[in-house]
Amino acid sequence: MWVVMLTGVTMVIEIFFGITTRSMALLADGIHMGSHVLAIGLSWMAYIIVRKVSRNDKFRGSSGKILSLSGYTSGILLLIFAIVIIVEAVKRIVHPVDIIYKEAILIAILGLVVNLLSAVLLHHEHEHSDHNIRAAYLHVLADTLTSLSAILGLT
């Protein structure tokens, strides 16, 4: 849960500073972090629902459908976020804006630190039998590269 809260706070900071510094790299990274918060939140809610309905004989066998629907919804939301980022990036290509570099680079470095910290937390928590936490850990490791590319994009 610490990873979700940390990611949520960082998301707000990155989106805010992405707008105020006019940095597409920060804005895209913030929106991407928002997709994590929603995806993890949906998975968490799906697990809670599955735990409740699995006790009811009427709903036996429905748990797989609930988890699949959660994954499908996460995928659709990620697609919407990607479209928003692409539209904003095209606008920036057509009408470039100056970036407030000093603030933007500090926030990008913060995003990198948060991803590294999240990876450490998830690696510490993950059990080898829990594929979801392992997948989240690997995803955060990949996002560390995204944060690094945001920093490189600002230089």
To the question of pTM greater than 0.85 for the whole model, the response is: no
Sequence spans of domains, the chain: 2-154
Contact 54, 137 (CB under 8 A): no
> How much of the chain exceeds pLDDT 70, in percent?
92
Q: Considering only 41-45, 105-109, 110-114, 125-129, which range has the smallest mean pLDDT?
A: 125-129
Checking if the pLDDT of 133 tops 60, the result is yes
Contact status, residue 111 vs residue 29, Cβ threshold 8 Å: yes
Given a cut of 90, whether residue 9 has pLDDT beyond it is yes
Q: HSE, CB side, 13 Å, CA atoms: give it for residue 78.
A: 12
pLDDT tens digits for range 63-114: 778 878 888 888 898 889 889 989 999 999 999 999 898 899 999 999 899 9
CA distance 145 to 132: 20
- Cα distances from 40 to residues 5, 130, 138, 139, in angstroms, run 11, 14, 14, 12
Confidence category of residue 4, pLDDT binned at 50, 70, 90:
confident
| Separation CA 135–CA 126 (nearest Å) | 10
